[in-house]
Amino acid sequence: MRNPVLNIRNVTKHFGAVKALTNVSFSLSRGEIHALCGENGAGKSTLMNIIAGVLQPDEGEIVLEGKTVKIGSPAAAQSLGLGLVHQEIALCPDASVAENIFMATTSRQRSLLMNYRKLEREAQDVMNRLAPIDVRRKVGDLPISSQQLVEIAKALTLDCRVLIFDEPTAALTEAETRILFEIIRGLKTNGISIIYISHRMAEIFDLCDRVTVLRDGHHVSTEPVADLKPDDVVRLMVGREITQLYPPKQPAGERSHEVVLSVRALGDDHRFDCVNIELMKGEILGIGGLIGSGRTEIAEGICGLRPITSGEILIHGEPQAIRNYADAVNAGLVYLSEDRKGSGVFLDLSIAQNISVLNLDALTGRLGLIDAGAEATLASDFARKLNIRMGSVDAPVSSLSGGNQQKVAIAKQLAVQPKVIVMDEPTRGIDVGAKSEIHTLLRELASSGIGIIVISSELPELLGLCDRVIVIREGTVAGELDAEAMSEEAVIRLASGVNAQNLQNRLASEDAA
């Protein structure tokens, strides 16, 4: 084995009671491109943030070129030659490209005045290696893919020994991806070591030398890419026992063929196109896909929260004109946001006031006044039905636990007696007990005849809860999985396009033959 540049030894990290990393070791050789894989929540980001100085490990040590180091801050990481290209773009939108590229180096510089001409010239040189973007332009005016390239250019100026790329191609076109790969290979020949995080098997197998798989905060394996197939990596990522118990699914014989919701050729000219979905009465339909695949946008499009440009939406066979969310609610279609605190509940208002928000018209009597008694009764009824643990319906929602807040958000939707509920990440950030209560609740609602669509990044939830799963990739339906075909591997394959890759390979070999 070549001598490692970076050695992570037995690192453990807790967040409160949650163990994000358990005894993880990882080593990076000089001039190597090392892929890091794992599902959402496997611990990739935690590990990278430890290397980049954003987080401190609870146990374990980091050895850089034979010396044990302590990386106390991002600035310390940079001065040690460890650079991170963030997945979420971390640039100043009001500053120019040049200023952004040299943000880290200017903060270290001791001179009083900035030499803008020199700065712009050097920035342009770096930028030109990636794409001809004028460095005098404001970052905020650039499209996302160009911003991602600026983020990469910024990392290239840091003179790093180790560079971490966290899903750098998520926002890039294929041509830009190819240029990036050339640059990464160039860095490799200059002896720089790369950690490459990606969900896309094709990229990993195209670019990387070795691959390390993390699962549930544990190191699973590190192998040369040449010894593996994409399917093997997927299996290593998943290979977990499903320990959580889910409510029983619809028995196969009793499935209804009555269509509640039908989405036909829905598109918005931007994030999704030609989406077809059919939801049957009494079923829970799962929607899977990677973050950024367009799952949430499609849900927002169906519910009138995002303008659509093509396609139609039918409820019980009736075409619906949904221009805004109020139209959707009137049509019996409600949406529960993935961002509970940001757009789901009103934290400083009371439980009763939260539950009644969609239903105000029904509670309003003559003179435009709210019937306070009826409002309290409505809230009490739902609190009992959903087992919301609280003091009184007048208490603010902020006084409840996450799981109970989510129940309030669900009660809010149920108060208008919807025909279809679309839930984005219904159990994100909720503890296990409350989670299974919400799962049971959703199953009961489905059995009572309400159509339910659940979007989830958690594969066990998607597979354990749903009767059928649709997987979204790049803004369209990549495939549908029914009862027997449903497995974590199948979902990951569809979501990351492994099948398409196989197909391409096959076509390529046929061409060659």
| Site residues (vs other proteins, CB under 8 A) | 305, 324-326, 328-329, 335, 337, 342-349, 352-353, 357-358, 360-361, 363-364, 368-370, 372, 376, 379-380, 383-384, 387-395, 398, 412
Structure tokens of 412? 């809010």
> Least distance in Å: CB of 334 to other proteins?
9
| 468 three-class SS | strand
In the complex with other proteins, which residue's Cβ is closer, 148 or 436? 436
Element (H, E) at 241: none
> Least distance in Å: CB of 268 to other proteins?
18
> Least distance in Å: CB of 425 to other proteins?
15
Residue 290's nearest CA partner among 492, 85, 42, 43 is: 492
- Report DSSP letters for 157-215, one per residue: TT--SEEEEESTTTT--HHHHHHHHHHHHHHHHTT-EEEEE-S-HHHHHHH-SEEEEEE
> Least distance in Å: CB of 348 to other proteins?
5
In the complex with other proteins, which residue's Cβ is closer, 362 or 483? 362
- Report DSSP letters for 162-177, one per residue: EEEEESTTTT--HHHH
Measure the CA–CA gap between 80 and 175, rounded to whole angstroms: 32
> Least distance in Å: CB of 408 to other proteins?
11
> Least distance in Å: CB of 66 to other proteins?
44
Start-to-end CA span in the chain (Å): 38
> Least distance in Å: CB of 93 to other proteins?
17
In the complex with other proteins, which residue's Cβ is closer, 75 or 372? 372
**Alpha-carbon distances of 142 from 134, 150, 151, 186, 370, rounded to whole Å:** 10, 10, 12, 26, 48
**Alpha-carbon distances of 467 from 161, 240, 249, 432, rounded to whole Å:** 49, 21, 6, 21
φ, ψ for residue 421, nearest 5 deg: -115, 130
Measure the CA–CA gap between 228 and 41, rounded to whole angstroms: 23
In the complex with other proteins, which residue's Cβ is closer, 65 or 371? 371
Measure the CA–CA gap between 208 and 19, rounded to whole angstroms: 29
In the complex with other proteins, which residue's Cβ is closer, 41 or 396? 396
Per-residue DSSP letter, 350? B
Count of alpha carbons within 13 angstroms of residue 337, beta-carbon side: 12
In the complex with other proteins, which residue's Cβ is closer, 16 or 251? 16
Q: What does the radius of gyration of the chain's CA atoms come to, in whole angstroms? A: 25
User: Angle at the Cα of 77 (from 7 to 92), degrees rounded to 5?
Assistant: 135
In the complex with other proteins, which residue's Cβ is closer, 358 or 481? 358
> Least distance in Å: CB of 453 to other proteins?
16
> Least distance in Å: CB of 389 to other proteins?
4
Residue 240 CB neighbours (<10 A): 14
In the complex with other proteins, which residue's Cβ is closer, 375 or 467? 375
In the complex with other proteins, which residue's Cβ is closer, 132 or 368? 368
Residue 422's nearest CA partner among 295, 269, 322 is: 295
Report CA 116 to chain centroid distance, whole Å.
Answer: 38
In the complex with other proteins, which residue's Cβ is closer, 157 or 337? 337
> Least distance in Å: CB of 400 to other proteins?
12
In the complex with other proteins, which residue's Cβ is closer, 181 or 325? 325
Measure the CA–CA gap between 98 and 217, rounded to whole angstroms: 38
> Least distance in Å: CB of 312 to other proteins?
21
